Structure 1
Amino acid sequence: MSYFLRRIGYFLLTLWAAVTLNFLIPRLQPGDPAEMMVKRLSGKDAEIDPAKIEAMRAMLGEPEGNLLQQYLGYLASLLRGDFGLSYIYYPAPVTEVIGRALPWTLVLVGVTLALSFVLGTVLGAFAAWRRNSMFDSVVTIGSTFIGTLQSFWIALLLLFAFGYVMGWFPTAGGYEASTPGWNGAFLLDALHHSVLPAVVLMLLGPVGWILGMRNTMIMNLREDYIRLARAKGVPDRDIALKYAARNALLPSITGLAMALGGILGGQILIETTFDYPGLGRLMQQAAAGKDYPLLQALLLLTIIGTLVANLVADMLYGVLDPRARKAS
């Protein structure tokens, strides 16, 4: 029981630190969002009236008072679920802006992550079981090579080849002519737009799972309990699946939890390259436009998602492996 209580205590302490940093970091950035919006509306070379900037601050509802008062007001707003109004998408509330982008990222990144984890785990386990074989060499060398490539480079290459040259897939956006909704035309249109981003994620996603699973399983195959199982005449299939692969899968739980939490942060480079309407592109826009309320909400969403996923992983780890409880 003490293991689980400590994990919950670490979670709460880390959550408080993350919320505090999430409040401070945007305010340490240079620039004034109200001034930027006035310049954007007035034109690049137009003379800026200070009264317009003050009026814009009042309209945006920028926090007043010293830093401590702003921090206390920020905590109170979080408890109410009020993240304020977006500066870029004014007067839309931040929750509404995030709500429009969240499904796109959950579907694209969530589905590709699940497929990458399953594919990478299976390939890594089979490569470890057939280590030093041709299959192991191809999978290991191929994964290492693909892992050195940058996601935005692959995205630009696919975009140029299949979007601009061949014209098989759209070059930007999440949908085009169809009306958003649960209808066949929109779903096919959205699927058509998501093919290239999904291919990039599926090329790079399994790499870490393959190498991690392979290395961990090879170490497990050298353990004494594997030798004992072979000496007792346990079939090779049971040794591979029930002993080596099962124990090698445990460290991947933490990695999967971090990846699941990271879904809420989106894929900034890929979504920006394809102009995909997900949380990653939204975060890039919020950072570039000094949209503090939107940026804070996105960062907090990502942090909480990662912390909750890690807490669940720690709990599962303690249940599946009693040694973890004793070690802590």
Structure 2
Amino acid sequence: MRFFLRRAAFYLFTAWAAITINFFLPRMMKGDPVSAYLQKNQGKVSPEAIDSLRTLFGLDSGKSLAQQYADYWGLIFSGDLGRSFSKGLAPVTDVIATAVPWTVGLVGIATVLSFFLGTTAGAVIGWRRGSRADLAVPVATFFSTVPYFWMGLIAIAVFSTTLGWFPASHAYDKSSRPGWTLDFVGDVITHGTLPALTIVVASLGGWILGMRNMMVTVLDEDYVTVAEAKGLSPRRVLVHYAARNAVLPQLSSFALSLGFIVGGTLVMELVFSYPGVGKLLLDATTAKDYPLMQGVFLVITLAVLIANILADVAYAALDPRTRQMEA
């Protein structure tokens, strides 16, 4: 219990610091969302509407910075992240909610798939160190050094333009009607296969190399030697003794990867014109839509914190020594 309380206090403080920085950072930047909105709509907004916009964006000159900060916390607890002027003054929560499922569905599945494939392959390669299986490491590492955008362009040129197996862009065909139908779901899967494979291939090498190196280290430990001396089957030694301990450092990296799923892979979404959070953040930055930028940053930060909390819980469950050291 002491372990979980200490970690909870740490993450609560981190969340407070992140939200506070998220509040002050846009106010330290040059200009404000109202000024940017007025530049796009010169002569179309009355002085009364300008005052209403400043109140709407939490920039009321009649309130002190401390009052604005308190109001910001109240809006967060009520689920109100402001209005996006680049999206027709639509609520930021609604704008983000439309982009998050696309990113989580694509990047989330690709990240989880690459982690399990890479970790499993790395464990087997490390177990059979010195064999021909080691040849897979430099090949996977080579693909992981190739930039996302370059690999995406190659994938489009080969599998879309030349072979015509997959679409080159967008999340679904423009003629499709969104809905929970087999035709639309199949269309989404077809459009998402190529960018998902790009993410898997590009990130597979890191998981394989990390797990393989940890396996080589763990196999020299005494508990593995004792397990083999007891006559346990190689599979049991691999799964329950070697791989279980070797995978622990991988969990921290996996937690960060899960947290940044919400942020998406910006370059990949640009290459494939995918309507995810990464592209939404770029559009908000280009339009100087501070409320939308602020909302996206907040969602990404909270996602990373939640992912790290889950990783700590999993780490403590798999390795009791962690709980004992914290206690």
1:47-86 paired onto structure 2 within 5 Å:
55=49, 58-59=52-53, 61-62=56-57, 63-64=59-60, 65-86=63-84
Kindly indicate whether the alpha-carbon contact (under 8 Å) linking 2:34 and 2:53 is maintained by their aligned counterparts in 1. no
> What is the match of residue 316 of structure 2?
318
> What is the match of residue 20 of structure 2?
20
Worse-superposed segment, 226-235 or 6-15:
226-235
Deviation at 1:304, TM superposition (A): 0.9
* RMSD of aligned alpha carbons: 2.2
Write the distance in 2 (CA, Å) between the matches of 1:69 and 1:165: 59
1:249 aligns with 2:256: no
1:20/1:194 CA distance change after superposition, 3 Å = same
Write the distance in 2 (CA, Å) between the matches of 1:267 and 1:201: 9
Q: Which amino acid aligns with 1:21?
A: I
Query: Identity of paired residues, percent?
Result: 42
SS of aligned partner of 2:315: helix
Worse-superposed segment, 30-39 or 89-98:
30-39
> What is the match of residue 154 of structure 1?
151
1:54/1:275 CA distance change after superposition, 3 Å = farther
Worse-superposed segment, 5-14 or 48-57:
48-57
Deviation at 1:39, TM superposition (A): 4.3
Offset from partner CA, 1:18-38 (integer Å, 9 cap, x none)? 111111222333344444444
1:272/1:30 CA distance change after superposition, 3 Å = farther
1:240/1:166 CA distance change after superposition, 3 Å = closer
Worse-superposed segment, 225-234 or 159-168:
159-168
1:53/1:159 CA distance change after superposition, 3 Å = farther
1:26/1:155 CA distance change after superposition, 3 Å = farther
Write the distance in 1 (CA, Å) between the matches of 2:28 and 2:190: 41
Deviation at 1:163, TM superposition (A): 3.6
1:105 aligns with 2:103: yes
Write the distance in 2 (CA, Å) between the matches of 1:277 and 1:189: 15
SS of aligned partner of 1:264: coil
Q: Which amino acid aligns with 1:145?
A: F
1:139 aligns with 2:136: yes
Residue in structure 1 matching 2:167, options 166, 170, 185: 170
1:172/1:37 CA distance change after superposition, 3 Å = farther
- Normalised by the size of structure 1, how large is the TM-score? 0.90
Q: Which amino acid aligns with 1:8?
A: A
1:286 aligns with 2:316: no
Write the distance in 2 (CA, Å) between the matches of 1:283 and 1:71: 23
SS of aligned partner of 1:217: helix
- Normalised by the size of structure 2, how large is the TM-score? 0.91
Write the distance in 1 (CA, Å) between the matches of 2:143 and 2:6: 39
Offset from partner CA, 1:71-98 (integer Å, 9 cap, x none)? 2221111011111111211231111111
Offset from partner CA, 1:242-296 (integer Å, 9 cap, x none)? 1101111222222222211111111111112211011111111112211122111
Kindly indicate whether the alpha-carbon contact (under 8 Å) linking 2:126 and 2:212 is maintained by their aligned counterparts in 1. yes
1:171/1:52 CA distance change after superposition, 3 Å = farther
Q: Which amino acid aligns with 1:312?
A: L
Write the distance in 2 (CA, Å) between the matches of 1:53 and 1:143: 60
> What is the match of residue 262 of structure 1?
260
> What is the match of residue 11 of structure 2?
11
Q: Which amino acid aligns with 1:122?
A: T
Q: Which amino acid aligns with 1:94?
A: V
> What is the match of residue 225 of structure 2?
227
Q: Which amino acid aligns with 2:11?
A: F
> Structure 2 regions of 5+ residues with no counterpart?
none
Residue in structure 2 matching 1:298, options 249, 271, 296: 296
